[in-house]
Amino acid sequence: MSDSTLFSVADAFPDIMEALKQQPREIQTGIDALDKELVTISGKYVAVAGETSTGKTDFCVSLAANRIRTGNPVLFASIEVGEHTMLRRFASHFANVYAPGTDATFQSENGIKNLTSDQQAALNGGVEMLEQCKQFLYLYDGSEKYGGKEMRIVEHVAVKAKEISRKHCVPCLVICDYFQLLATRESTGTATEKFDALSHKLAQLAHETGSPVIVPCATNKDGSIRGSGQVNYDNDITLHLSIDQAECSEDDLPALSIRPMIVHVKKNRDGRARARVKLDYRPASHRFTDRGGEL
């Protein structure tokens, strides 16, 4: 009697070419210059590191917006910022996609009323674009509506990510904003040990599901990720955001509507590591693009 638990490639894949054709398409960031270096973020645990106000969350907004525009799902777990604030960020982002020369930023209903005619036109066009792909965006915050503190628990995020992936028949992009606010059900011990366990769980989620898991991380003064050195071992890609000081100084930033940024690819399992990718960042529109170009 044969052992039904043994499967050779001949058993699992009678037609190898057909099996290869059925493999899911590679998931990318949607930023051309960055994708040339990363190749793919499919099934990768990605740490987005940087100092305060370098645009880590807005960088993730850009990746999420690029993904849903192509009809693919995104779970954006915003632990610190509420869903309405995140929705406004996406609306401003799409307004700039619709009208690249216009920043239609606002924080409330009064902010909308104070927009110029050009900004209002950009916002109208951006909202129409967002309406066309909103079914692919899942914005979860820490409110009771979405489970309260449960959204801080990686295992809970993993359940939601798997449900979304099954619904859309494609791995969803998972963004957890941000690392130092997350936890696991099983973590015990010191703060460092808890962060180490958290890092393991995030890697497990990415590798088992094929979903890219992107987590913004605060850094120490030396550039290391705050709370856990384990992230550097567990993750597949480390991206470090910083101001391009060859183009501007810290003193110049308040007057700049477009900030020149550098994404340092410090770790990259399947692509070229140590690359430096130049991007433009529009804080008012919460949008990153290729340097000097539009998506």
Tens-place pLDDT, residues 66-90: 999 999 999 999 988 889 899 999 9
By percentage, how much of the chain surpasses pLDDT 90?
59
Between strands 173-177 and 213-218, the pairing is parallel
Mean pLDDT is lowest, of 137-151, 251-265, 268-282, for 137-151
Residue 226, classed as helix, strand or coil, is: coil
What's the whole-number average pLDDT of the chain?
88
Residue among 37, 141, 36 at smallest CA distance from 88: 141
The residue-averaged pLDDT of 243-257 equals 89
- In the predicted model, is pLDDT for residue 295 greater than 60? no
Between 220 and 278, the higher pLDDT residue? 278
Tens-place pLDDT, residues 238-247: 999 999 999 9
- In the predicted model, is pLDDT for residue 159 greater than 50? yes
Q: What is the pLDDT of residue 15?
A: 87
- In the predicted model, is pLDDT for residue 169 greater than 60? yes
